[in-house]
Chain A
Amino acid sequence: MTPYKPEPSRESPVGRSASHSSARAVPVRALSRRSALRQLGLAGLSLLAAPTLAPALADELLKLPLPSDPRERPITHAFPQKGRMILQRTRPPLLETPMEVFDRGVFTPNDQFYVRWHWAVIPESVDVNTFRLAVRGHVNQALTLSIDDLLKMPRVELAAVNQCSGNSRGFFLPRVPGAQWAHGAMGNARWTGVRLKDVLDRAGVKAGAVQVRFDGLDEPVVPEAPDFKKSIDIDHARDGEVMIAYAMNGEQLPLLNGFPLRLIVPGWYSTYWVKMLSDIEVLDKPDDNFWMAVAYTIPDTPHANIAPGQTGVKMVPISRMEPRSFFTNVEEGSSFAVDTQLPVRGIAFGGDSGVAKVELSSDSGKSWQPTMLGKDHGKYSFRQWETNLALPGTGNHALMVRCTNLGGDVQPTSPNWNNSGFMRNVAETVQVVAI
């Protein structure tokens, strides 16, 4: 049994994929048949249950643990500045982060950070010498800022999770249309840039401003289609946390993650984190554009939950994230040596506040045991959790993990449902077998 280390040495170097993650023996590492085979003999692990990943040449196809077909997705290395990714859609790109990446550390390497675009017209070249960020609208002095201008402003850094509103949509039952993500439409990075507040102050926000709208360089293929723009309230925009990032994990952003500038809205879903940010417009009335008023709206109910088919529900723009937690070294169908203490671990995040605790259940949620939390990188960051677990009898066991955030919100044990497949945050379950 490997003792828990508060600062795990397996944490990957920021911005690079880890090459030393196998330095630490991990008896229950079962994220792929190959990695499981590597661990055979370390703790009596065997592979009675069907592995959920394609064997051996998993570089070609990977089987997501979705509730119905199609489950297989290609693994791709074909996207610029991107490494091994799950291909959900080529154009416009939807690239999912493989779950094992989250086992290597709390910071997601840039080259495996998930990718999601709405419109297919994405500039393939950005010249940082001519690029300008416009700040305009209900301000005293419109600005056109160069990258150099921003680099000269006070610099801030923040670790924050970026999660797609529809992360884990593929697990919704009944199934709903949309990108059929498993859990990898999320990532955590150290974002470096300037406070949005400082930029707005430089322009001088006029009295009566109510929202700030953000637009990027991407465009719809059909010019009449609604350009992707998002807005947040003026007080939120000036809270000193919302930032304009020019670096993630210490390096410039990959183009597909929003180079050269991306809005960072800590604790809020990624739909607001506008990529290739080029235009900031201060509004004196609420934004009623399609992407605020219709798209990315959720039922105004706890966990955005409704019954399938329910109508007449008040809809509101999606906003704050809720706590979530995941297993990163136990996969659906994994085998455990019975009555043997084995390390189980994963990641959690609190949503719009920090992680207070992460608990594990090995009896389908009837009882919960505490886990130890890893290093705290700030309230918006992933946080690792780890515990030791012994399964007391042979046969099937349902392992569950749940996070409680510092605001007191705890993951529910039954899943939410809505038409868009947004905001899943049920305590996740993996079925394992003790042998």
Chain B
Amino acid sequence: MSKYILVEYILVGCLTAGLLASTPALAEPLPAIKSTSVDLPTGDSLFPGGASADAINNNCLACHSTEMVLNQPALPKATWEAEVHKMINVYKAPIEDADVPAIVDYLVSTKGEK
């Protein structure tokens, strides 16, 4: 009898008795929980587009890598303006006011609805 089948018998017993839906996992050995260290990929690529991407590269990559934007579908300009202002007002992105138009322009030119 596999350990999982045994657990399921316990489950059936619990349900029959009208007890909890979660299962006392008595049949399982205690899982080993070991300290863990990993290295996460840094995701430090830049937006393409040369000088037109300077504003978005300078302001947006501290919090997220480029794919957050590059995988978006085409969206209306109003949606992109709202996204940039959400980043500033809600998520406290430290974006220079003077850079906002250039960021929106980049988003609209690369991800705007045609």
Contact = CB atoms under 8 A, between A and B. Distances in A.
B102 interface: no
Nearest to A290: B90
B31 A250 contact: yes
A373 B1 CA distance: 23
Contacts of A367: none
Contact of A195 (B22, B90, B94): B22
B7 interface: yes
A192 B92 CA distance: 37
Nearest to A67: B73
A175 B74 contact: yes
A318 B9 CA distance: 34
B16 interface: no
A1 to B, nearest CB: 29
Contacts of B43: 89-91
B71 A129 contact: no
Contacts of A224: 92
Interface in B15-66: 20-26, 28, 30-43, 45, 62-65
B99 interface: no
Interface string B90-113: 111110000000000000000000
Given A14-B4, A195-B22, A226-B90, A91 B72 contact: no
A192 B74 contact: no
Contact of A70 (B28, B39, B45, B71): B71
A255 B20 contact: no
Nearest to A125: B37
B48 to A, nearest CB: 13
A190 B41 CA distance: 28
**Main SS of the interface on chain B?**
loop
Given A124-B39, A126-B35, A177-B75, A158 B21 contact: yes
A222 B22 contact: no
Given A69-B73, A151-B30, A241-B20, A124 B37 contact: yes
A222 B92 contact: yes
Interface stretch (A30-38, A46-54, A77-85, A97-105): A77-85
Contacts of B35: 125-129
B31 to A, nearest CB: 4
Interface in A147-198: 147, 151, 154-158, 170, 175, 177, 179-180, 190, 192, 195
B36 A255 contact: yes
A88 B67 contact: yes
Contact of A255 (B38, B67, B73, B91): B38
B21 A90 contact: no
Given A90-B65, A92-B64, A120-B63, A157 B25 contact: yes
A177 B72 contact: yes
Contact of A73 (B22, B36, B71): B71
Contact of A126 (B36, B67, B72): B36
Contacts of A432: none
B24 A154 contact: yes
Contacts of A259: 36
B24 A252 contact: no
B63 A89 contact: no
A156 B67 contact: no
A93 B40 contact: yes
Interface string A223-258: 011100000000000001101001100111001100
A221 B36 contact: no
Interface string B71-86: 1111100010001000
Contacts of B25: 155-157, 192
A70 to B, nearest CB: 6
Interface of B: 4, 7, 11, 20-26, 28, 30-43, 45, 62-65, 67-68, 70-75, 79, 83, 90-94
10 contacts: A79-B41, A87-B67, A88-B67, A120-B64, A128-B36, A155-B26, A157-B7, A177-B75, A192-B25, A195-B20
Q: Which 5 A-B pairs have the closest CB atoms?
A: A90-B43, A91-B43, A80-B38, A157-B25, A175-B73
